[in-house]
Amino acid sequence: MAFELPALPFAPDALEPHYSANTLSFHHGKHHQAYVTKLNELIAGSADEEKTLEEIIASSTGGLFNQAAQVWNHTFFWNSMTPGGGGSPSGALADAISAAFGSLEAFNEQFKAAGVGQFGSGWVWLVKDDGALKIVTTANAETPLTNGQVPVLTCDVWEHAYYLDYQNRRPDFIQSFLDNLVNWDFAAANYEEVSSAAAE
Query: Does the structure show a pLDDT above 50 at 199?
Result: no
| Global confidence as pTM | 0.94
3-state secondary structure of 143: coil
Q: Tell me the CA distances in angstroms from 190 to 94, 133, 183, 187, one per residue in order.
A: 13, 12, 11, 5
Please report which residue ranges of 62-183 form alpha helices under DSSP H.
Answer: 62-79, 91-101, 104-117, 163-166, 170-176
CB 133 within 8 A of CB 127: yes
Known binding residue 31? Answer is no
Q: Where in the chain is the domain with CATH 3.55.40.20?
A: 91-199
Query: What fold, for 21-79?
Result: Helix Hairpins (1.10.287)
152-198 residue pLDDT tens: 999 999 999 999 999 999 999 999 999 999 999 999 999 987 554 44
Distance between CA atoms of residues 113 and 93, nearest Å = 21
- How many helices (DSSP H) and strands (DSSP E) are in the chain? 9, 3
Helix, strand or coil, per DSSP, at residue 105: helix
Over the stretch 84-100, which tens digit does the pLDDT of each residue have?
A: 999 999 999 999 999 99
27 marked among binding-site residues = yes
* CATH 1.10.287.990 intervals, the chain: 21-79
The class that CATH gives domain 91-199 is alpha beta
Q: How far is CA 54 from CA 98, 106, 153, 184, in A?
A: 31, 32, 17, 23
Is 28 marked as binding a ligand? no
pLDDT digits (tens, 9 = 90+) for 7-60: 999 999 999 999 999 999 999 999 999 999 999 999 999 999 999 999 999 999
